[in-house]
Structure 1
Amino acid sequence: MDPRKMRKKPRGFTARYLGSAKNLVASERTGAADTQLGMALTFVAGAINAGGFLAVGQYTSHMSGVFSTMADNLALGTFNVVLLGLSAFVPFVVGAGCSAILINWGRRHHLGGQFALPLMLEAALLFGFGLLGWIAYPSVGFSLIAVPLLCLIMGLQNATVTKISGARMRTTHVTGIVTDIGIELGKFVYWNRDKAGPDVRADRAKLRLLSLLLSSFFIGGVIGAIGFSQLGFLFSLPFAALLLLLAGPPIAADVLAHGRRVGEG
């Protein structure tokens, strides 16, 4: 085989990968890119949420349950449980706020990888969670850090996908996904008897997207539960690597573009 042809294959593969990853997290969005990115991140959310439950004994994306538990225990006077709830609720809010700060900073600086910035931060936090669990579990200090850290990660991711999709998608909020599926199914079976009024029609594209997101979350949950039970905290590292692969090319492109502008200046 011609050696020159062998050398071209890696470059072609690399170019395709960089182009695909860059398009998935680009500031200019398409419906296909939103669907693919949403499925990838919902898969990660399901895995981390289910695996995190096995690791720390608490789901870290269900803020409705956390907030209700805080209200119940405040009424009962069990303030220690209220403080535990705050240790999950506040980091989730902080994570969402960090996402908004990073995305808006990138937008103000005209970065093509503005949405990649919070995903890169999420990858770093997941990597830190895996190493922390591997080193410190089951110490008391680890349990005090793990839940807030996972809630921070979930808030960061959910806000990022919300911003990317214009609030059409949530990756950690399955209640909203299931509610929207129910709405579209109700519209799908609605009988338009009154021809004088507007017809009720289900949004089939939206129903398909929501079903894909729900399936991705469930599959991620199954794989996360199996992985964490068999391999422990280090199983979070492949998910950190996936986020790194998604976020790396757009950020690298911005860095190279900045370097060219500085060189030309």
Structure 2
Amino acid sequence: MRVLRHLTARHRTLATNRTLGLMLAFNAGAMNAGGFMAVRMYTSHMTGFLAALADSLVLGEFALVLAAIGALAAFLCGAAATAILVNWARQQRLCGTYALPLLLEALLMLLFGLLGAATLQWPTPFAVPLTVLLLAFMMGLQNAVVTKMSSAQIRTTHMTGVVTDLGMELGRMLYWNRRGTPRASRVRANRERAQLFASLLALFVIGGVVGAAGFQYIGFAWVVPQAALLLALSLPPLFTDAQRLAAWWRGRRVAE
């Protein structure tokens, strides 16, 4: 409980940022791959939706234009919701500063799992079912959580950026510093960052395999363990906040 409370707490360390980032990379991979099995779309891939938006405009396929706009808007709203929740928690000096958006994501995942295939038929104004918008919103929520807590050093759904960063670190490792190059001018790789990026990629892929297999063989119920993981991350610090609030309320009643 103590470890889980610190992972999403207000005070951050490099170790907690990395641990939470790796756990959420696994979750993002599972949700992205499992979501594709459900709706045939990778709902964290905003670059792809932007490209689809441009292509569909030229081809005159306006249903696809609406679908891309809907997914982009849902992802954007998810990121905005995280910013609102985190900033409010900071102002209230809550222990679980980063727990609220993860709790919201867990509840939405449970809703997605419980409703199951029914959500695939719910129409929206964006020419895609509610499931697509829900998954994109959750991806926006999660990516913004890790971005804010790590000051944009870690991303869990933006693997293009992770691969780019890993490639640059590998380039630094392979760079040959000529003999006589001043120490201050030598190119040096940050092996810890390279290890972090490689771990994020590996866990995203492993999560994708687990998510795809879970949906293939279990169905919509595969999201329940994923939601349980997020609940385990978000509830301990929020429970601490609830205890503090209860103690404050009891003290106020005694003072009256």
| TM-score of the aligned structures, taking structure 1 as reference length | 0.90
CA distance in 2, matches of 1:137, 1:79: 23
Deviation at 1:260, TM superposition (A): 0.8
Q: Percent identity?
A: 48
Q: In the alignment, which residue of structure 1 is the partner of 2:4? A: 21
Show the counterpart of 1:185.
Answer: 170
| Preserved CA contact (<8 Å) 2:119 2:130 | no
Q: How big is each residue's C-alpha offset from its partner over 1:32-66, in whole Å with a ceiling of 9 and x where there is no partner?
A: 21121111111010001001101111000000010
Shift of 1:259: 1.2
Paired letter, 2:148: K
Aligned twin of 1:34: 17
SS in structure 2 of the partner of residue 192 of structure 1: coil
- Looking at structure 2, the residues matched to 155 and 198 of structure 1 have their Cα atoms a distance apart, in angstroms, of 40
Is residue 215 of structure 2 the alignment partner of residue 239 of structure 1?
A: no
Superposed CA offset, 1:109-149 (max 9, x none)? 01110100000000001111111215x16535496100000
Equivalent in 234, 244, 247 of residue 257 of structure 1: 244
Moved more, 23-32 or 115-124: 23-32
| SS of corresponding position for 2:219 | helix
Aligned residue for 2:121?
A: 139
What amino acid is aligned across from residue 250 of structure 2 in structure 1? Answer: G
2:112 maps to 1:129: yes
Letter in structure 2 aligned against 1:78: E
Partners of 1:168 and 1:138 in 2: how far apart?
35
What are the residue-to-residue correspondences of 1:163-178 with 2, within 5 Å? 163-178=148-163
Q: Distance in 2 between matches of 1:139 and 1:182?
A: 42
Match of 1:96 in 2: 79
Give distance in 2, aligned partners of 1:140 and 1:20: 40
Out of 193, 209, 212, the residue aligned to residue 206 of structure 1 is: 193
Structure 1 residues not aligned, in runs of 5+: 1-17
Q: 1:62 to 1:232 in 2, by over 3 A?
A: same
Number of residues of Structure 1 aligned to a counterpart in Structure 2: 247
In 2, Cα distance between equivalents of 1:224 and 1:22: 26
Aligned equivalent of 2:29: 46
Return the alpha-carbon distance in structure 1 between the equivalents of residues 131 and 113 of structure 2: 10
1:67 aligns with 2:47: no
2: CA distance between counterparts of 1:124 and 1:164?
21
CA RMSD across the alignment: 1.4
CA contact (8 A) 2:39 2:120 kept: no
